[in-house]
Amino acid sequence: MGTSTSQRSPRTREWERVHRLYDDPQAPPEAIVGRILHALTPATREAMADAAVARCLGTLTSAGAGVLEGAWSLDPTLPAAADLAAALRAEAESDIARARVASRFGELALDALSAATLDAVAGAGGSPDVVRATLARYAAERRLAELARAFTTHDVGYTFRHFVARDTPMHVGGPRLRTVDDAGRLADEIAGLCRRHTGGLAFGGLEDQLQRAAGEGGLPGHPLYRATIAQALGASLRALGELT
């Protein structure tokens, strides 16, 4: 899912240090996350919060405010929550295409959008109307920051999984990753670690600007979404830096 693993990491000294850990059976996942953080250039960190990523957050927040202009259903034969998640993803894909801002981090953010939508309506029941209403009242309850946290948590998880999965195939057969399954498990473990360590962050300070964006029409391209995701991702990366 998400971005292709065919594009390998840059050939820099910092990324070479990450590679060494894929051959070290004793290196804990926390050390891998720490090395990846050190390897990220300012340009990469900025790209992780690019316009496509921001539009995915904007789509989720627009739905959370009940002002989404696109469809709320894609395939009524699916369970209601899955149908809503698929519809929001399709809406975000269309919005990104119209704006011509597609990117590799945007592809990962689409996965995060789907996962965050399912989180947001978990336990809402099976009725499509109830599921949609559950999501649409986040703004009225001043809980848009919760949506931003759920989205960012999944986005960081998918992004770090991508950083690992794009390079580990060349280490399969080595002392740590003896099989393809071992490589997949490591990528999943890194993603889970990132989600666990960022999922408890408090983003309440972002509520006012998310409410403002929703109040000004809530279109996914609103500039406040770009500012919000940059702040949220920055806080998440700082939290991950505490692992080492």
222 within a domain of the structure (yes/no): yes
149 within a domain of the structure (yes/no): yes
In this prediction, residue 4 carries a pLDDT of 45
Residue identified by tokens 């998880």 is 157
2 within a domain of the structure (yes/no): no
8 within a domain of the structure (yes/no): no
0.75 cut: is pTM over it? yes
In this prediction, residue 218 carries a pLDDT of 75
Q: Which domain holds residue 39?
A: 13-241
3 within a domain of the structure (yes/no): no
CA–CA gap between residue 5 and residue 179 (Å, rounded): 17
26 within a domain of the structure (yes/no): yes
In this prediction, residue 108 carries a pLDDT of 98
In this prediction, residue 62 carries a pLDDT of 93
Query: Which residue ranges of the chain lie beneath pLDDT 70?
Result: 1-6
In this prediction, residue 6 carries a pLDDT of 53
117 within a domain of the structure (yes/no): yes
In this prediction, residue 209 carries a pLDDT of 95
1 within a domain of the structure (yes/no): no
Q: How many domains, in total, are found in the chain?
A: 1
